[in-house]
Structure 1
Amino acid sequence: MPGRAAAAVVDVFVYVVVLNLFVEYLPAVVSETFTLSLLTAVLLKGVLEVVVLAKNRVKTRFREAASPIGKVGAALLLWLVLFGSKFVVLEAVDLAFGSRVSLGGFFSVTLLIVVLMLTRELVRRLLDGYDSPVPR
């Protein structure tokens, strides 16, 4: 992928598509308008970037822990980041959009986030493949 800005735009587009598929097929996930879906995707991009950054820092802490207690502490912290991030996403969406956007509850937002991250990675890998010349 050419640059960070291009990658961020692609991520938001991927998030819009996935989010709107969830809106269409999961009754608990609601967005009143496409504009709200787009704004929600931008919000999700920001929140999930912070979560990924926190997760990566905790993973580094886990790898660098010298004692078993340090490893257990880092593992618990990682679980807390992964578990708590769902509530952060739900609260951020509620604060930003109120009842006009709902990502459902814990399980639907967890599924949404997993699908968002997997789809984002799949699209990035697909686009990275187009950057290299085609073998003959």
Structure 2
Amino acid sequence: MTDDVPGVASAETPNTRQRLFNRYFTAILIDLTVLNLFVEYSDYVVIDSFTISLLTAFLLQVLLKLTLAIEHRIGAYFNAKTGAVAKFLRFFCAWAILFGSKFVILAAVNVAFGDDVDFAGPLHGVAIFIAVVVAMLVAEEAMVRFYHRLG
């Protein structure tokens, strides 16, 4: 019946591409919201326009997912090894990648948007940038957990 009426939502199960689209679309909107809350309520985050903040949220989402993919790949390599040294290297490499990537991501934002995006404050803006990223990840995780609780 809904096939005959354009614009009516379907109850069909989404395919993998549709689920991925929904996941990343939602994540980018969450990141956009968090980023703009920091712009509005913090003197340390300045973004010149909504369009730039949307593009920044998109870039951050892509780079954060890339960082997590790299960390998981290296983690899997060390998880396949046995011994205390491998376990130490697993955690050390995870920390180094997850922490160090923030400097790379901040540099990428600077290259992509220049003076249109400014993270200022302690440690040349690194502290507030890490706070923004952590807030984004916490907000994304909270939404995922809420979604799963819906059943």
Instruction: Place the TM-score, normalised by the shorter chain, in its bin.
Output: 0.7 to 0.9
- Provide the rounded CA distance (Å) in 2 between the counterparts of 1:88 and 1:45: 14
Among residues 86, 97, 113, which one is paired with 1:81 in the alignment? 97
The answer to which structure has the higher helix fraction is 1
| Equivalent residues of 2:79, 2:86 under 8 A apart | no
Identical positions, percent: 33
Aligned length: 130
Q: Does 1:100 align with 2:120?
A: no
What corresponds to 1:123 in structure 2? 143
| Equivalent residues of 1:94, 1:101 under 8 A apart | yes
Q: Tell me by how many angstroms 1:67 deviates.
A: 2.1
* SS in structure 2 of the partner of residue 65 of structure 1: coil
Q: Tell me by how many angstroms 1:75 deviates.
A: 2.2
Q: How does 1:1-136 map to 2 (within 5 A)?
A: 3-104=19-120, 105-130=125-150, 132=151
Mean Cα deviation higher: 78-87 or 51-60: 51-60
Instruction: Describe the superposition over 1:27-68 as per-residue Cα deviations: whole angstroms up to 9, x where unpaired.
Output: 111100011000000001100110111222233234322122
Amino acid paired to 1:34: F
| Equivalent residues of 1:93, 1:102 under 8 A apart | no
Q: Tell me by how many angstroms 1:73 deviates.
A: 2.2
* SS in structure 1 of the partner of residue 43 of structure 2: coil
* SS in structure 2 of the partner of residue 41 of structure 1: helix
**Quick check: which has more Rg, 1 or 2?**
2
RMSD value, Cα: 1.5
TM-score in terms of structure 2 length? 0.79
Q: Tell me by how many angstroms 1:71 deviates.
A: 2.0
TM-score in terms of structure 1 length? 0.87
